[in-house]
């Protein structure tokens, strides 16, 4: 079993369609899907807000590197360009965690090294899996520990991504 938590986001182009393309591609493996959230950009680059969601997937034959490769394929299909770190992007697919995998590999560090401090990851993740934990700490506790202004800046969108 290879259950993974993927964080997806987009802030340029047809943001909704970019997120929906991930759901369409991964549909046979989706265990849970969060609502979509409007989130402010994270990092020092001035840019538009993101649309973010969490996709929890499971596929017995896909390992952690397989999920990373799949995410990069989806980013490439959305014509993602990597010019500026934390810059705007058509699609970002991050592997947040893979069940029973801990890795300090610089190509794929698991769990994602900054997931515990990012409201745009934690809040959708909690919605997709209220019993989730990250490195032994319940995600609900991690959300509660975030500054109030960061939690409040992550706002749910009523429209939902659709499984095909």
> For residues 157 and 164, what is the distance between their CA atoms, to the nearest angstrom?
20
Q: Mark whether 61 is an active-site residue.
A: no
- Distant-in-sequence, close-in-space partners of 19: CB < 8 Å, separation ≥ 6: 8, 9, 10, 36, 51, 53, 91, 161
Catalytic residue among 3, 15, 89, 118: 89
Q: How many CB atoms lie under 10 A from the CB of residue 122?
A: 28
Give, for 104, the enclosing helix (H) or strand (E): strand 103-104
> For residues 70 and 124, what is the distance between their CA atoms, to the nearest angstrom?
21
> For residues 115 and 4, what is the distance between their CA atoms, to the nearest angstrom?
14
Catalytic residue among 58, 94, 129, 151: 94
> For residues 134 and 120, what is the distance between their CA atoms, to the nearest angstrom?
15
Q: Mark whether 89 is an active-site residue.
A: yes
Q: Mark whether 80 is an active-site residue.
A: yes
Catalytic residue among 92, 105, 151, 160: 92
Q: Mark whether 92 is an active-site residue.
A: yes
Do residues 78 and 18 touch, judged by C-beta distance below 8 A?
yes
Structure tokens at 115: 């997931």
Catalytic residue annotation: 80, 89, 92, 94
């Amino acid at each position: 079993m290879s259950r993974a938590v993927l964080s997806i986001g987009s802030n340029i182009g047809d943001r909704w369609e970019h997120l929906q393309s991930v759901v369409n591609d991964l549909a046979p493996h989706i265990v849970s899907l969060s609502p979509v959230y409007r989130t402010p950009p994270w990092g020092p680059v001035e840019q538009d807000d993101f649309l973010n969601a969490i996709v929890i997937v499971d596929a017995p034959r896909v390992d952690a590197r397989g999920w990373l490769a799949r995410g990069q394929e989806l980013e490439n299909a959305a014509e993602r360009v990597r010019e500026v770190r934390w810059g705007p992007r058509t699609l970002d697919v991050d592997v947040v965690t893979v069940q029973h995998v801990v890795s300090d590999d610089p190509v794929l560090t698991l769990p994602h090294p900054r997931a515990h401090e990012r409201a745009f990851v934690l809040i959708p993740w909690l919605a997709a899996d209220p019993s989730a934990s990250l490195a032994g700490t319940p995600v609900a506790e991690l959300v509660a520990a975030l500054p109030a202004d960061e939690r409040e800046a992550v706002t749910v969108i009523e429209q939902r991504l659709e499984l095909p």
